[in-house]
């Protein structure tokens, strides 16, 4: 039975991620959820810390009753030729990779892994970029993330953080 790796930055974790994870986890012995750019936070591209993103994911999956997963945090080394080895070293063993970022797909293919290129689910809505834009412009975003994620963002006063960072 397959051990899968699912790659993302999860800024924030959203319903598109959840749907994909639900589908993959069904067929997997377990799913390693690898959170990239783990050292970054408090920017418009990467507003949330690794710990906050970890909490978003674990609460959402707990709420869904999904249990066969592991979360690992992956710091970006900016040395892409060594990146696959780095991810492998930080993760429980996996033999199949699910990704949609072109760089990740390419690197894992060159590394000899079986890669499933994910079709994003309604990417114009379910994307971190879109959700961050909506938060910053005061539009509705809560319907795009699992309820647990909205709670985390409220607990850390995340809307205010993004608005502050975007202020000039």
Residues that bind a copy of itself (CB under 8 A): 38-43, 49-51, 54-55, 58, 70-73, 75, 77-82, 84-86, 88-93, 102-103, 105-107, 110, 161, 164-168
Q: Which of 33, 45, 16 is nearest to 119 (CA)?
A: 16
What is the rounded distance in angstroms from the CA atom of residue 168 to the CA atom of residue 166? 6
Return the number of the residue (154 or 164) whose C-beta is nearest a copy of itself: 164
Beginning with the edge strand found earlier in the chain, give each strand of the sheet holding 96-99 in spatial order: 69-73, 28-35, 2-8, 96-99, 114-117
Return the number of the residue (67 or 140) whose C-beta is nearest a copy of itself: 67
Q: How far is the CB of 163 from a copy of itself (least distance, A)?
A: 9
Q: How far is the CB of 106 from a copy of itself (least distance, A)?
A: 4
What is the rounded distance in angstroms from the CA atom of residue 66 to the CA atom of residue 64? 5
Return the number of the residue (2 or 103) whose C-beta is nearest a copy of itself: 103
Two tokens, residue 110: 């060159």
Two tokens, residue 90: 């930080």
Return the number of the residue (104 or 131) whose C-beta is nearest a copy of itself: 104
What is the rounded distance in angstroms from the CA atom of residue 12 to the CA atom of residue 150? 10
Q: How far is the CB of 18 from a copy of itself (least distance, A)?
A: 18
Q: How far is the CB of 32 from a copy of itself (least distance, A)?
A: 9
């Amino acid at each position: 039975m397959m051990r899968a790796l699912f790659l993302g930055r999860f800024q924030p974790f959203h319903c598109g991620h959840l749907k994909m994870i639900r589908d993959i986890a069904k067929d997997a012995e377990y799913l390693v959820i690898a959170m990239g750019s783990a050292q970054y936070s408090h920017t418009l591209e990467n507003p949330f810390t690794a710990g906050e993103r970890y909490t978003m994911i674990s609460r959402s999956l707990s709420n869904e009753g999904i249990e066969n997963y592991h979360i690992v945090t992956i710091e970006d080394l900016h040395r892409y030729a060594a990146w696959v080895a780095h991810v492998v070293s930080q993760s429980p063993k996996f033999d199949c990779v699910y990704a949609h970022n072109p760089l990740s797909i390419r690197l894992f293919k060159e590394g000899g892994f079986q890669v499933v290129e994910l079709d994003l689910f309604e990417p114009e809505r379910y994307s971190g970029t879109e959700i961050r834009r909506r938060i910053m412009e005061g539009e509705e975003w809560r319907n795009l993330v699992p309820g647990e994620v909205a709670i985390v963002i409220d607990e850390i006063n995340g809307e205010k953080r993004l608005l502050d960072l975007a202020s000039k």
